[in-house]
Amino acid sequence: MRLAQRVQRIKPSPTIAAAAKARALKAQGVDICDLTVGEPDLDTPEFVKEAAIQALREGYTKYTDARGMEPLRKAICHKLERDNGLHYTPDQIVASCGAKHALFNAFQALIDPGDQVLIPAPYWVSYPDMVSVCDGEPVLILTTEENGFKPTPQQIADAITDRTRVLLINSPCNPTGAVWERELLEEIAQIVLKHDDLFVISDEVYECLVYDGRQHVSIASLNERIKERTIVVNALSKTFAMTGWRLGYAAAPKPIADAMAKIQSQSTTNPTAFVQVAAIKALQEPGDFPRKMLELYNFRRHLIVTALNNIDGVKCRTPEGAFYAFAKFQEAIERKGFKDDYELCDYLLEKAHVATVAGSAFGAPGYLRLSFATSEDTLQEAARRIKEALA
Ligand code: PMP
Ligand code: GLU
């Protein structure tokens, strides 16, 4: 059967695929320690569920404005002002079906065939394929563990060509946990502003998970000029453990927001109406849920990093943000005679019943990503099994 070429240019999301594989094994009764998919193990807070139930009862069951209902967009503006020092008006906001959808709209709105998108690597699995679907060219900027998995300003300046249209920033980063400091963002903003028509897409979905007193800084908050060149993307998925609800949003200069809304009006129309009402509640009165999650995940972060560093041939730096341990298994891979991290990943799943995601999926061969958004017991047992399997 002949399918469009764009289908052949991409692969299914490896994180979603790894999670599906683990889930299938669990369904067969295999006792799997699942450290694959990146989503909080906590349930959505009760007050958000109640708001959705009430919204359903009140009849929020119809189409809304394609950008999301006005009260939601106002609540998003309020949140951006309160948490990020960003001033937007509701006509600059587009609510979508998750951050993934917001990112997709942003690429669709900006990328023409052959345009380049700079993506620091290791990167979240979906960025390069999203760019490819839009006929763009992903250009990787390879960061090193020694530099904390952050690019240097020089690397970014050197990578820019007359075809570069977008620089992707994901801080805190999935999979490395890197949190980009204000100084780095300031230097990058200066570089971006030297080039007409170069935009930043800033994926801030892990903003609530920054550890050790660090501060999340949105590049758009540095000054008005860089804000005019930035599309801020965020979601309720991580902050309120709402991955399955599918609600994300973008804040952008009005012409870009209009373009994204136009595209969305021809695809999904609006995110689910009653989810929008629940999202207003969460954004307006977040309560202490995000802070409690941060405390819990901070504890688990130390637990898994310590346990991994106790395994011969494994080295894991302490992530600054998000909920992933991104550990170097290269020595273990060589010692065991595996071809690569994919083979190690399969081995750990089949022999130790520990499900992880291979670093190669994030552009980092020799690494594994282990989500610590799971129970302490699972983390401890996973580390024990990995140690045993690699002994
Ligand atoms: N960006 C990053 C960096 C992610 O890890 C994820 C995965 N949840 C997304 C975007 C997509 O988020 P959502 O579930 O809101 O679509
Ligand atoms: N972002 C999460 C992850 O990296 C969820 C899966 C996905 O959307 O790719 O595991």
Distance CA 48, CA 275 (A): 9
pLDDT attached to residue 289: 96
pLDDT attached to residue 148: 97
If you take atom 1 of ligand 2, which residue's CA is the nearest one?
Answer: 38
Give residue 188's pLDDT band: very low, low, confident or very high (50, 70, 90): very high
Q: Counting beta carbons within 10 angstroms of the beta carbon of residue 262, is it exposed (0 to 12), middle (13 to 18) or buried (19 or more)? A: middle
Ligand that comes closest to the CA of residue 38: 2
**48-284 fold:** Aspartate Aminotransferase; domain 2 (3.40.640)
Give me the mean pLDDT over the 175-188 stretch: 98
Cβ(98) – ligand 1 distance below 6 Å: yes
Give me the mean pLDDT over the 229-237 stretch: 98
- CA angle centred on 119, ends 113 and 123, rounded to 5°: 125
Strands 315-316 and 324-328: antiparallel
pLDDT attached to residue 271: 98
pLDDT attached to residue 33: 96
**Residue 361 and residue 15 in contact, taking contact as beta carbons nearer than 8 Å:** yes
If you take atom 3 of ligand 2, which residue's CA is the nearest one?
Answer: 38
Pocket of ligand 2 (CB under 6 A): 13, 15-16, 37-39, 100, 124-126, 174
Distance CA 348, CA 340 (A): 13
Closest atom of ligand 1 to 248 CA is 15
Share of the chain above pLDDT 70, in %: 100
Give residue 244's pLDDT band: very low, low, confident or very high (50, 70, 90): very high
If you take atom 12 of ligand 1, which residue's CA is the nearest one?
Answer: 99
Q: Counting beta carbons within 10 angstroms of the beta carbon of residue 385, is it exposed (0 to 12), middle (13 to 18) or buried (19 or more)? A: middle
**Residue 326 and residue 176 in contact, taking contact as beta carbons nearer than 8 Å:** yes
**5-44+289-390 fold:** Aspartate Aminotransferase, domain 1 (3.90.1150)
Q: Where are the domains of the chain?
A: 5-44+289-390, 48-284
What is the crossing angle of helices 98-110 and 126-133, to 10°? 40
Which amino acid is it at 210? V
Closest atom of ligand 2 to 205 CA is 1
Tell me the average pLDDT of the chain: 97
SS (H, E, C) 254-296: HHHHHHHHHHHHCCCCCCCHHHHHHHHHHHHCCCCHHHHHHHH
* Distance in Å, CA 38 to ligand 1 centroid: 8
* Distance in Å, CA 206 to ligand 2 centroid: 12
pLDDT in tens, 110-143: 999 999 999 999 999 999 999 999 999 999 999 9
Helix (H, G, I), strand (E, B) or coil at 369: strand
pLDDT in tens, 85-107: 999 999 999 999 999 999 999 99
Distance CA 13, CA 25 (A): 19
Residues sharing a CB contact under 8 Å with residue 153, sequence separation 6 or more, in sequence order: 184, 187, 188, 191
What is the crossing angle of helices 289-309 and 376-390, to 10°? 20
Cβ(38) – ligand 1 distance below 6 Å: yes
- Single out the residue of 361, 348, 358 nearest to residue 311, CA to CA: 348
Closest atom of ligand 2 to 18 CA is 10
* Distance in Å, CA 298 to ligand 1 centroid: 20
Give residue 40's pLDDT band: very low, low, confident or very high (50, 70, 90): very high
Give me the mean pLDDT over the 354-375 stretch: 97
pLDDT attached to residue 267: 97
Residue 24 has pLDDT above 90, yes or no: yes
Cβ(18) – ligand 1 distance below 6 Å: no
* Distance in Å, CA 36 to ligand 2 centroid: 9
pLDDT attached to residue 294: 98
Cβ(120) – ligand 1 distance below 6 Å: no
Ligand that comes closest to the CA of residue 207: 1
pLDDT attached to residue 81: 98
Residues sharing a CB contact under 8 Å with residue 3, sequence separation 6 or more, in sequence order: none
pLDDT attached to residue 83: 97
Q: Max alpha carbon distance in the chain (Å)?
A: 62
pLDDT attached to residue 158: 98
Give me the mean pLDDT over the 8-20 stretch: 91
Cβ(170) – ligand 1 distance below 6 Å: yes
pLDDT attached to residue 153: 98
pLDDT attached to residue 75: 98
pLDDT in tens, 286-302: 999 999 999 999 999 99
Task: Select from 35, 104, 126 the residue to mutate for testing ligand 2; criterion: most ligand atoms less than 8 Å from CB.
Answer: 126
* Distance in Å, CA 391 to ligand 2 centroid: 30
Closest atom of ligand 1 to 103 CA is 10
Distance CA 80, CA 365 (A): 36
Indicate if the alpha-carbon torsion angle 329, 333, 339, 344 is positive or negative.
negative
Residue 329 has pLDDT above 90, yes or no: yes
CA distances from 52 to 55, 58, 76, 77, 205 (A): 5, 10, 17, 21, 22
Task: Select from 129, 237, 369 the residue to mutate for testing ligand 1; criterion: most ligand atoms less than 8 Å from CB.
Answer: 237
Ligand that comes closest to the CA of residue 174: 1
pLDDT attached to residue 37: 80
pTM above 0.75, yes or no: yes
- Torsion, Cα 233 130 253 239, to 10 degrees, reads -10
pLDDT in tens, 200-210: 999 999 999 99
